Amino acid sequence: MRAPIAVLCVFLVIFCQEAFCSFSPPSSKSREYYAKFKNIIAAKSKPLVNLQANGLKQDGRVFYPIGYGADPTGAKDSSAAILNALADAFKVSSGLELLRGVHDLGGAVIDLQGASYKIDHPIRLPAQGGGNVV
Protein backbone atom coordinates (compact mmCIF):
# COMPACT_ATOMS: atom_id res chain seq x y z
CA MET A 1 0.00 0.00 0.00
CA ARG A 2 2.99 2.30 0.56
CA ALA A 3 4.18 2.16 -3.05
CA PRO A 4 0.98 3.61 -4.62
CA ILE A 5 1.00 6.43 -2.06
CA ALA A 6 4.65 7.21 -2.83
CA VAL A 7 3.92 7.22 -6.55
CA LEU A 8 0.97 9.55 -6.03
CA CYS A 9 3.06 11.94 -3.88
CA VAL A 10 5.84 12.13 -6.48
CA PHE A 11 3.32 12.71 -9.24
CA LEU A 12 1.63 15.49 -7.25
CA VAL A 13 4.96 17.19 -6.59
CA ILE A 14 5.87 17.11 -10.28
CA PHE A 15 2.39 18.26 -11.28
CA CYS A 16 2.42 21.14 -8.78
CA GLN A 17 5.89 22.26 -9.81
CA GLU A 18 4.90 22.44 -13.46
CA ALA A 19 1.41 23.80 -12.91
CA PHE A 20 2.14 26.49 -10.34
CA CYS A 21 5.77 27.41 -10.97
CA SER A 22 5.60 27.82 -14.72
CA PHE A 23 1.87 28.67 -14.90
CA SER A 24 1.39 26.13 -17.64
CA PRO A 25 -0.48 22.85 -17.74
CA PRO A 26 1.51 19.71 -16.99
CA SER A 27 3.68 18.67 -19.89
CA SER A 28 4.09 15.27 -21.40
CA LYS A 29 7.51 15.20 -19.70
CA SER A 30 5.90 14.89 -16.25
CA ARG A 31 3.68 12.10 -17.54
CA GLU A 32 6.78 10.31 -18.82
CA TYR A 33 8.53 10.68 -15.46
CA TYR A 34 5.44 9.47 -13.64
CA ALA A 35 5.13 6.41 -15.90
CA LYS A 36 8.82 5.54 -15.48
CA PHE A 37 8.66 6.02 -11.72
CA LYS A 38 5.52 3.88 -11.48
CA ASN A 39 7.20 1.09 -13.46
CA ILE A 40 10.30 1.20 -11.24
CA ILE A 41 8.17 1.04 -8.07
CA ALA A 42 6.09 -1.82 -9.46
CA ALA A 43 9.22 -3.79 -10.37
CA LYS A 44 10.92 -3.28 -7.00
CA SER A 45 7.96 -3.68 -4.68
CA LYS A 46 6.96 -7.30 -4.30
CA PRO A 47 3.63 -7.67 -2.54
CA LEU A 48 3.41 -10.18 0.29
CA VAL A 49 2.02 -13.46 -0.88
CA ASN A 50 -0.93 -14.64 1.16
CA LEU A 51 0.39 -18.10 1.88
CA GLN A 52 -2.19 -18.75 4.60
CA ALA A 53 -4.95 -18.81 1.99
CA ASN A 54 -3.42 -21.72 0.07
CA GLY A 55 -1.56 -23.30 3.01
CA LEU A 56 1.91 -23.09 1.40
CA LYS A 57 4.51 -23.53 4.12
CA GLN A 58 7.41 -24.68 2.03
CA ASP A 59 8.62 -24.53 -1.55
CA GLY A 60 11.62 -26.81 -1.95
CA ARG A 61 14.16 -25.64 0.64
CA VAL A 62 12.37 -22.29 1.19
CA PHE A 63 10.19 -22.04 4.30
CA TYR A 64 7.55 -19.31 4.73
CA PRO A 65 6.58 -18.38 8.32
CA ILE A 66 3.37 -16.81 6.96
CA GLY A 67 2.29 -20.32 5.92
CA TYR A 68 2.76 -21.40 9.54
CA GLY A 69 0.41 -18.66 10.76
CA ALA A 70 2.79 -15.71 11.22
CA ASP A 71 1.12 -12.28 11.01
CA PRO A 72 3.04 -10.11 8.47
CA THR A 73 1.33 -6.93 9.70
CA GLY A 74 2.96 -7.13 13.13
CA ALA A 75 -0.36 -6.96 14.97
CA LYS A 76 -0.19 -10.46 16.51
CA ASP A 77 2.68 -12.48 17.95
CA SER A 78 4.47 -14.54 15.29
CA SER A 79 7.11 -16.19 17.49
CA ALA A 80 5.59 -19.68 17.39
CA ALA A 81 5.14 -19.64 13.61
CA ILE A 82 8.73 -18.54 13.01
CA LEU A 83 10.02 -21.19 15.44
CA ASN A 84 7.95 -23.86 13.63
CA ALA A 85 9.39 -22.78 10.27
CA LEU A 86 12.89 -22.92 11.75
CA ALA A 87 12.25 -26.38 13.19
CA ASP A 88 11.08 -27.68 9.81
CA ALA A 89 14.05 -26.10 8.04
CA PHE A 90 16.45 -27.79 10.45
CA LYS A 91 14.85 -31.18 9.69
CA VAL A 92 15.96 -30.91 6.05
CA SER A 93 19.34 -32.52 5.57
CA SER A 94 21.53 -33.26 2.61
CA GLY A 95 23.06 -36.21 4.48
CA LEU A 96 26.41 -34.44 4.69
CA GLU A 97 28.18 -32.80 7.59
CA LEU A 98 29.99 -29.46 7.44
CA LEU A 99 31.88 -30.31 10.63
CA ARG A 100 31.46 -33.18 13.05
CA GLY A 101 27.97 -32.79 14.52
CA VAL A 102 27.00 -29.91 12.17
CA HIS A 103 24.57 -31.21 9.56
CA ASP A 104 24.52 -29.54 6.15
CA LEU A 105 21.01 -28.18 5.58
CA GLY A 106 21.80 -27.61 1.91
CA GLY A 107 20.94 -23.90 1.83
CA ALA A 108 17.56 -23.98 3.56
CA VAL A 109 15.97 -20.51 3.54
CA ILE A 110 13.53 -18.93 5.99
CA ASP A 111 11.80 -16.32 3.79
CA LEU A 112 10.31 -13.53 5.92
CA GLN A 113 9.12 -11.76 2.75
CA GLY A 114 10.15 -8.33 3.99
CA ALA A 115 7.29 -8.13 6.47
CA SER A 116 7.30 -6.77 10.04
CA TYR A 117 6.63 -9.43 12.64
CA LYS A 118 5.81 -9.04 16.31
CA ILE A 119 8.05 -11.28 18.40
CA ASP A 120 7.10 -11.89 22.04
CA HIS A 121 9.44 -14.84 22.68
CA PRO A 122 13.13 -15.40 21.90
CA ILE A 123 13.87 -16.96 18.52
CA ARG A 124 16.50 -19.65 19.07
CA LEU A 125 17.92 -22.03 16.52
CA PRO A 126 17.03 -25.69 17.17
CA ALA A 127 19.39 -27.59 19.48
CA GLN A 128 20.17 -30.40 17.00
CA GLY A 129 22.39 -27.93 15.11
CA GLY A 130 22.91 -27.41 11.45
CA GLY A 131 24.65 -25.17 8.99
CA ASN A 132 24.15 -23.67 5.56
CA VAL A 133 20.82 -22.03 6.41
CA VAL A 134 19.72 -18.51 5.46
What is the reported pLDDT for 52?
46
pLDDT tens-digit readout, 5-25: 655 555 666 655 655 555 455
pLDDT tens-digit readout, 22-67: 545 556 777 787 777 777 766 655 544 554 444 567 677 888 888 8
What sign results for the dihedral spanned by CA atoms 10, 12, 17, 18? positive
pLDDT tens-digit readout, 66-108: 888 888 888 999 999 999 998 888 888 777 888 887 877 878 8
